[in-house]
Amino acid sequence: MAEEILLEVQDLTHLFPLTKRAVVRAVDGVSFQVRRGEIFGLVGESGSGKSTVARCVMNLYRPRGGRILYKGIDVCDPAAFRANRRMLQRTRQMIFQDSGSSLNQRMRVWEIIAEPLRIQRIAPPRGSLREEAAFQMHYVGLDAGYLDRYPPELSGGQRQRVAIARALAMEPELLVADEPIASLDVSIQAQIVNLFKHLQQEHGFSFLFIAHDLAMVEFLCDRVGVMYRGRLVEAGPAAEVFAHPGHPYTRALLSSIPIPDPRRERARRPEIFSGEALGGRLAETGPGHYVLREEG
């Protein structure tokens, strides 16, 4: 536990107004930590608040409650944010789910990749912005021939690589990826996840990886958090959580993974999580493994 904690989310809460009176508690008292150089996976079904957490971390939403400490700076505090704006914008980068809409269709690939450098007025280390873009493209496995293409001319996997290259151009310390593989074909998903693993080993950035595909999370992540209806129901080392799921929702989630072996697949009995009250608080059941438990 000696590693430095890069990102600490404390009791994060965010609401969305649904109508004038009703609100949705998209995120409800979520706390977790991401250490320097680790891959933290956040899983849960759609609508469980994962993306909201990511957007709060990136200062796209202002949370209604709780704190987000990044390198010890409370990024939700406007004054602290302003004081460290450049550092925060340079060292945190985000990758969105749908690369079709997160890349401006009217910009060329090299302009997209060089956009953060241009905004932050960073002198490109490799000469021109274009050469920098070409370098980053090679880095994420894209041919330099695509430099002058427009995003709609690329495939989904290629576009996501462009989005990754754009994020990496700033040499970030924290990379937040909001379901980066959900809109891709399964074969491409594997490529991109491999790429992430490889890049993370190269760069050593911390990685908040959000997904609903448990198999990918198990393969990629060091630690995972499981979210359900805006609450974190379980968190711990990936191997531990997948081997000994503590919360009934996690068990239901794990039992829903298909097994690529027909005989065992036939014997698989999906558990059904009835969605009982999510009261209580996290209790430590193993080393670093927390499960939401009823009190008393």
Partner 1 sequence: MSGQFEMVGIRPLPPAEPARPAPWYRGKPVLSAGILALLVLGCLVFRLAPVRDPAYMDLTRCSAAPCGEFLFGTDAMGRDVFSMIWYGGGLSLFIGAAATALSTLIAVVFGALSGCAPAWLDGVLMRLTEILLSVPSLLVVVLLQAALGEANVLSISLVIGLTSWTSMAKIVRTEVRQLRGSEYVLASRCMGGSFFHILRRHLAPNFFSSIMFMAVMNIRSAIVAESTLSFMGIGLPLEVITWGSMLSLSEQALLTGAWWIILIPGGFLVTTLLCVTNLAGALRGSGGRGQSNL
Secondary structure of residue 247 in the 3-state scheme: coil
242-246: long-range contacts (C-beta < 8 A, 24 or more apart)?
A: 242/214, 242/218, 244/285, 244/286, 244/289, 246/285, 246/289, 246/291
- Give residue 290's Cα distance to chain centre: 20
Nearest approach, Cβ of residue 103 and partner 1 (Å): 6
58 contacts partner 1 (rule: CB under 8 A): yes
Does residue 80 interact with partner 1 by CB under 8 A? no
Counting contacts by CB under 8 A, is residue 93 touching partner 1? yes
For 186, residues 6+ apart whose C-beta sits below 8 A from its C-beta are none
**Least distance between partner 1 and beta carbon 224 (Å):** 23
Pick the binder of partner 1 from 3, 4, 77, 143 (CB under 8 A). Answer: 143
Does residue 170 interact with partner 1 by CB under 8 A? yes
Residue 94 CA: distances (Å) to CA of 122, 132, 213: 18, 19, 19
Task: Please name which of 192, 242, 235 lies closest in space to residue 35, comparing C-alpha atoms.
Answer: 235
CB of 189 to partner 1, least distance (A): 11
Name which of residues 171 to 230 contact partner 1 (CB under 8 A): 190-191, 194-195, 198, 202
Question: Which tokens hold the place of 156?
Answer: 């989904």
Closest distance to partner 1 from the beta carbon of 95 (Å): 9
Sole binder of partner 1 in the list 81, 135, 150, 219 (CB under 8 A)? 135
Contact flag: residue 82 with partner 1 (CB under 8 A): no
Could you give the CA distance from residue 286 to residue 235 in angstroms, rounded to a whole number?
11
Q: Please tell me the distance from the alpha carbon of residue 68 to that of residue 122, in angstroms, as a whole number.
A: 27
Site for partner 1 in 256-285 (CB under 8 A): none
The Cα–Cα gap between 294 and 292 comes to: 7
Q: Which of 19, 145, 258, 263 binds partner 1 (CB under 8 A)?
A: 145
Task: Identify which range of 36-44, 65-73, 92-100, 204-212 contacts partner 1 by CB under 8 A.
Answer: 92-100
The three-point CA angle 14-29-215 to 5° equals 95
Q: What residues line the site for partner 1 (CB under 8 A)?
A: 55, 58-60, 85-86, 89-90, 92-94, 96, 98, 101-104, 106-107, 115-116, 119-120, 135, 138-139, 141-143, 145-146, 157, 161, 163, 166, 170, 190-191, 194-195, 198, 202
